[in-house]
Every structure is written in structure tokens, then in C-alpha cells.
Amino acid sequence: MALRPVSWFALHMTIRRELLEHEGHLRLGVELLHDPRRNKGTAFTLEERRALGLCGLLPAQVLTEAEQIERSLENIRRSTDPLQRYIAMAALQDRNESLYFRVLQDNLAELMPIVYTPTVGRACEEYGHIFRRPRGLFVSLEHRGRIGECLRNWPVRDVRVIVVTDGERILGLGDLGANGMGIPVGKLNLYTACAGVSPHVCLPITLDVGTDNTALLEDRFYIGERRPRLRGAEYDEFVEEFVTEVAKAYPHVLLQFEDFGNKNAFRLLDRYRERLCCFNDDIQGTAGVALAGLLGALRLTGGALEDQRVLFLGAGEAGTGIANLIVAEMVSRGADPATARRCCWLVDSQGLVVASRSGLAHHKQPFAHDAAPAGDLLAAVEALRPTALIGVSGQPMAFHEQVIAAMTRHNQRPIVFALSNPTSKAECTARQAYEWSDGRAVFASGSPFDPVEYRGRTFVPGQGNNAYVFPGIGLGIVATAARMVPDEIFLVAARTLAAITSANDLATGCLYPPLAQIQQVSLAIAEAVAEFVFEAGLTELERPDDLGAHVRSFLWKPDYPEYLTES
């Protein structure tokens, strides 16, 4: 009689089941300590240690959560290198998820720059070298035809938020391939830390379609496919399979596209926004936070939005995304669309985008106006005399002294937004903006800058971080099971954020609320988004009587589980 081949996986599971039955709670104890979602570390009480098979597996001392937080912060702060702090935070998340989010939530102003921009940019550049433990899903070209199988390997079936990147345009750093996984991981951490979206329903994904970054292809520790980046019809087929399988596996998911290249970002958003609940944070999230900053700036300058002339350095996803949302806000106030579009002008690598230029990309064409060409930013500023200058170019120091001086010469209070990330790519620093404008600039940036002392006054530069917008939008979408994410949702978010910024914040020059308030900001945005979803009929759910309570019921808190309860 022929022997059947041995299923080593089945054999392993049988042995494991027998061990569990034989060793009982002793095995449970070990597994608890190695499960970051259930692990409490030295906070397990003596009673829990006895009941859960933890005796001898932990040192004698029982620490409170407050003591664990203090110890964690001490270890994180031990290094002055931001990348080492990033690694320390990742290690904490790998072993104790609740403690990680408690530390992060309670110290957002200090730690957001570590877990996200600007440090996440450096982490992505060195991702293969600092790699410790996989997080999320890497969907690569070898998985074509069985992407659904990859998704089913994820242990959670009720995924509600996915952040996905193909790594082509990571922040202002360019093509980092599979190393770009740091971005989806970081974004989803902010969904939880800023808006209370449960980490258990969040899934970071990288589409590993190769890279054109020669340095990465030659790096022996690069973690992705060692091949040129997939393009054309094959790329589209790969993404189509991915989106189709996501919709099958997670019918109530919010899919956030992140850091795709310009050639694909607009196409993918247009292709899929009607098919499933999705948005592009670089196009729409950046627009929401920038519009909120502009509305706040106008409370200082005293002008009306319709009277502004906004000049963008950068004509890609962020620049045209912001311009389109500004136009939408103007139109909502009664402006003619064509007139509103003429308030927004673009400068790209070839100079001012004008109607006479041939071969313009589709997303630039609505903002190609009749005007004489201008070869560089300074010439464009002198010709157009804009009231606001917004940098989304990834070109460091592009707002040089002559540019800021020209903006100041033409405006009593020039609005200057240097939004490129990370800090090394900022168009100018906060200090430069204030000093070169004689303290008159209304400034915001994409990365954080310290307060600036200038001529006896302290300026607090606002950080136009997308984290003010997308986590609250995500919470509102999750709470309502919305079918789609129309552009109006970003108008709702921008208006809500701008309204929350206080007169005291504005008096210091800060156009956004303090990061310490971001959880309240996110909740307010979530409730406003939920209200819009129900009013617009974008969900099958019935509107609850108490909408605020309904949204708050979805908040996840990083509290330790209770293993022993009184009967």
C-alpha cells in the first residue's frame, strides 16, 4: 500500500495541540508574553501570574502602567538619535501594543515626529538595515493571480482601514520601493493615536512592484523585489487584482492610497473612487489641512478667500490637490468656477504653468492660465504678486531670501506655507520665513519647527500635518460604513479644523491647534464627517439618535485587558 505524503504543517499543528492540552496554562503564559495585543509585561498582577501560568516567567516586581510608561520614555529618550528612538518605539509596539499607544497618545508632541515625519523618512531610507519584524502585508509581483490568498493570510477578517503604498514617491525622498512600508505603518499608528481607530482593524500594505532606485537595487539588505519598477498595462492589472480582492475580503474597508507617483496617483484615484471607499491622502488629505491653514491665516490677514492669489511651487499631487479644494471652497461660497481657478497658479520644474505651454499633464491644465511665461519662482512672484505662497515641491530652500522679500514687498502679511516633508526638504525654515519678512509672514510647515524668538516676540509655527485631518475622517468613515469618500468630506474636515483653531493660537502665529489637542480635533472632524455621510445618503445604516455617542462608541483605548474578574 502506498504511503500518503506527510503534511508537515498538519503534523506541527497536531503536536502543538497536544502540547497545549498537556501543558495547559503554562503554555498560555508563554504565549501571552509573546502576543503584543495581550501582553502586559511586568504589569501582570500576582494573581494573574498564578492563574495564567506566568510564575517564574516574569521578575518579582509588579509595576503599574504609569511606572511602565516612565520606564519606556526613559529608554526612548536615552538616545539623541531620532532613528534610534524610532527603533525603540517599534520594539515597544512589537512586545506591548497597549503600552505603546499609551506612551504615544500621552506624548504626541514629542513622539509624532519620531513615529512619523520627519524621522519616518530616514527610517524608510534605511528600512532594510533596521528591519526587525514584519508588520503588515508585502504584496509582491510573485503573488500575481493569488493576491486574495495573501489577504487571507492576515489574521483579522474585519479590516476597516488599509493604507497602501507602492513606494514610488515616499515623502519628498522619491522611489524607495518596498522600504516605503514605514509610511503605511506610521499612518495607521496615527489613526489610532490621534483618532482612536482600533489598531486591530488596521492593515498596512506595500505593493512591491520593484524599484528604479539603483542604490537600493545594489543594497544587499534591501527587502524588496530586485527588479525595475513595473509599469504600463502590467502594473494596472496588478493593482486591479489587488483592489478587486480587497473589496472581496473587506467589504467595509476604507482604502487610503499613499505616496504613489504622480503618473499613477491621479489615475488610480479617478479609477477606483466610485468603486469602493477610498481616497488619496497626498492629493486630498494634504488639501484639507492646507485649506484649513489658509482659512486660519485669513483670520490674521483679514482678507476674503475669493480675493486671494495663491501661487504653488510644485504642480503634482499635493499642489493640484490643494488648488482644487481651494476652488471647491470658493465655489461653495458663490464664486464662478473659472474665476476661482484663476486664483490658483502653479510653478513646476519648467517655470510658471501657462496656457501657451504644450504637453501639459492633465492635472495641471485647469490651472494653466493666459499669462507671460516666468522661468522661475522669483519671476513668478514678481509678475503675479500672490498673497499666498505654498511649497509642495520637495525642493529644499526654494523659498530663498529674495523670494520671501518679494512676498513681503507685495503684502503686509505674506502667507508662506513650506509644506514639503521631511524637514530636510522644506522650502524654508520657520526662522528664515520670519526673519526675511521682518516678522510679518504668516507661516506654516509640513514638518515641525521650534518656536522662533524674533525682535522680542515669540512665533509658534504651525505644522500643517495631514494627521490633523485623515485620522478623524477615517473614524467618521468607520463609524458610518460609508460607501465612498467624496471631495466634500475634505471641505467638511478643513472647515471643522479651521474653526477649532483658537484666537490665542493665531495670536502666536500658529494656524493649527496644539498637537496635544489632536484627539479632540479628530473626534470633532469624525462627527462632522458622520453628519455629512448621513445627510448625503452615503451609507446603508440608519442615522442614530445620538450621532456623537455613536461615533465615540468606536473609540479604542489602550487599556490593558482584565484577565481576572469577580464572579
pLDDT digits (tens, 9 = 90+) for 126-142: 999 999 999 999 999 99
Predicted pLDDT at 22: 44
Q: What is the pLDDT of residues 74-88, one digit of tens each?
A: 999 999 999 999 999
pLDDT of residue 136: 96
Q: Of 86, 100, 116, 250, which residue is the catalytic one? A: 116
Contact 287, 321 (CB under 8 A): yes
Smallest CA-to-CA distance from 433 within 460, 400, 457 is with: 400
Residue that the C-alpha cell 468656477 belongs to: 337
Amino acid at site 420: S
Helix axes 97-106, 65-77, angle to 10 degrees: 70
Q: What pLDDT shows up at residue 29?
A: 86
**How many residues are present in the chain?**
567
Q: What percent of the chain has pLDDT over 90?
A: 91
Please state the φ and ψ torsions of residue 2, each to the nearest 5 degrees: -70, 145
Determine whether 187 is an active site residue: yes
pLDDT: is 195 or 16 the higher one?
195
Q: SS3 for 170?
A: strand
Going by their DSSP bridges, the two strands 462-463 and 415-418 should be labelled as unpaired
| pLDDT at res. 562 | 87
- Residue 480: exposed, middle, or buried by beta-carbon count in 10 A (0-12, 13-18, 19+)? buried
**What residue has cell string 511665461?**
373
CA neighbor of 327 nearest in space, from 297, 299, 370, 290: 290
Q: In this prediction, what percent of the chain has a pLDDT beyond 70?
A: 95
* pLDDT score, position 271: 97
Model confidence pLDDT, tens digit, residues 2-22: 334 444 444 444 444 444 444
The mean pLDDT of 332-358, rounded to a whole number, is 96
Which residues, in sequence order, are CB contacts of 242 under 8 Å at separation 6+?
139, 147, 164, 207
CB count within 10 Å of CB 465 equals: 27
Cα separation, 48 vs 52, in Å, equals 6
pLDDT at 4: 41
Q: Would you state the pLDDT for residue 567?
A: 43
- What local confidence, expressed as pLDDT, does residue 12 receive? 43
User: What span, in angstroms and rounded, lies between the C-alpha atoms of 511 and 464?
Assistant: 8
Most trustworthy range by pLDDT among 25-29, 315-319, 560-564? 315-319
Of the listed 86, 100, 187, 560, which one is catalytic? 187
Q: Is the separation of the CB atoms in 400 and 428 below 8 Å?
A: yes
Mean pLDDT within 85-104: 97
The C-alpha atoms of residue 530 and residue 34 are separated, in whole angstroms, by: 37
| pLDDT surpassing 50 at residue 52 | yes
The model's pTM:
0.92
What does the pLDDT read at residue 139? 98
Instruction: Give the mean pLDDT of the chain.
Output: 93
Q: What is the pLDDT of residues 462-480, one digit of tens each?
A: 999 999 999 999 999 999 9
Q: How confident is the model at residue 201 (pLDDT cuts 50, 70, 90)?
A: very high
Confidence of residue 28 (pLDDT cuts 50, 70, 90): confident
pLDDT of residue 303: 87
Average pLDDT over residues 507-526: 96
Spatial separation of the C-alpha atoms in residues 497 and 479, rounded to whole Å: 19
Residue 346: phi and psi, rounded to 5, are -120, 140
Q: How many CB atoms lie within 10 A of CB 32?
A: 22
Supply 545's cell numbers: 439618535
Torsional sign, CA 365, 231, 140, 218: negative
The pLDDT score that the predictor gives to residue 507 is 94
* DSSP string of 485-535, one letter each residue: --THHHHHHHHHHHHHS-HHHHHTT--S--GGGHHHHHHHHHHHHHHHHHH
Which three cell numbers mark 391? 511649497
Q: From 334, 342, 347, select the one nearest 389 (Cα to Cα).
A: 347
Helix (H) or strand (E) run with residue 18 in it? helix 8-23
Query: Among this protein's residues, is 563 annotated catalytic?
Result: no
Task: Identify the pLDDT of residue 566.
Answer: 55
Helix (H, G, I), strand (E, B) or coil at 391: strand
Domains of the chain and CATH, by start: 30-123 (1.20.1370.30), 126-276 (3.40.50.10380), 284-468 (3.40.50.720)
- 3-class secondary structure, 409: helix
Sequence-separated (6 or more) residues with CB below 8 Å from residue 8: none
Residue 91 has a pLDDT of 97
C-alpha cell at 89: 518605539
